[in-house]
Structure 1
Amino acid sequence: MKNLVILAGNVGADPEVRTTQSGAKITTISLATSRPKRDSDGKILKDRDGRRIDDTEWHRVTLFNGLGKAVAEYGFKGQKLLVEGRIHYSRYTDSDNVERYATEIIAEKVDFLSYKPRDNAADDVEDDDIPY
Structure 2
Amino acid sequence: MTNIVLLAGNIGTIPETATTRGGTKLTEFRLATSRPKRVDTKVGKSEAGYAEQDTEWHRIRCFNGLAETVHRHVVKGMKIAVRGRIHYTRWTDNENIERFSTEIIADSIDFLAWPKRNSAGSQAEDTDPIPF
| TM-score class, shorter | 0.7 to 0.9
Larger % of helix: which? 1
Q: State how 1:106-121 maps to structure 2 within 5 Å.
A: 106-115=105-114
**TM-score between the two structures when normalised by the length of structure 2:** 0.84
Aligned to 1:55: 54
Tell me if the contact between 2:79 and 2:115 (Cα under 8 Å) persists in the aligned partners. Answer: no
**TM-score between the two structures when normalised by the length of structure 1:** 0.84
Larger % of strand: which? 2
Aligned to 1:64: 63
Alignment gaps of 5+ in structure 1:
122-132
Aligned to 1:74: 73
- 4+ runs of 1 displaced by more than 4 Å? none
> How far 1:96 moved relative to its partner?
1.7
Mapped to 1, the partners of 2:58 and 2:116 lie a distance apart of 26
Alpha-carbon spacing, 1:35–1:117, altered in 2? closer, same or farther (3 Å)? closer
Tell me if the contact between 2:78 and 2:114 (Cα under 8 Å) persists in the aligned partners. Answer: yes
Larger Rg belongs to: 1
Mapped to 2, the partners of 1:95 and 1:104 lie a distance apart of 22
Aligned to 1:3: 3
SS at match of 2:70: helix
* Alignment: residue pair count: 120
Identity of aligned residues (%): 51
> How far 1:30 moved relative to its partner?
0.5
Alignment gaps of 5+ in structure 2:
122-132
Aligned to 1:37: 37
Mapped to 2, the partners of 1:75 and 1:105 lie a distance apart of 17
